[in-house]
Amino acid sequence: DLPHNIEVDISTLTEIDDKILVSDLIIPKGVKIDTPVNEVVVIVAKEREEEPEEVAPEAESAEVAPEAEVSAEPEDK
């Protein structure tokens, strides 16, 4: 039998590197787990800092607006 879902209580995970292993899961009767019992299911990890995106020099120059043409002749009205 394949269960629709397996509930996992993560409220006990309070510190970085806390984890839940396959052996910690409550498996319904009739279900066999083929994964090793020491396999990590959930782990608390430190949030990675996002590195600022670097702008390529070509992209910076492409954003510069072109200069407007200036005409020395007066417009006819």
Quote the CA–CA distance of 61 and 10 in Å, as a whole number.
Answer: 50
Q: Please choose, from the candidates 68, 13, 69, the residue with its C-alpha nearest in 3D space to the C-alpha of residue 21.
A: 13
Q: pTM of the full predicted structure?
A: 0.56
Quote the CA–CA distance of 2 and 31 in Å, as a whole number.
Answer: 7
Q: What is the pLDDT of residue 68?
A: 55
pLDDT tier, 52 (very low <50, low <70, confident <90, very high otherwise): confident
Average pLDDT over residues 18-35: 93
Provide the residue ranges of all domains of the chain, joining segments of one domain with +. Answer: 1-46
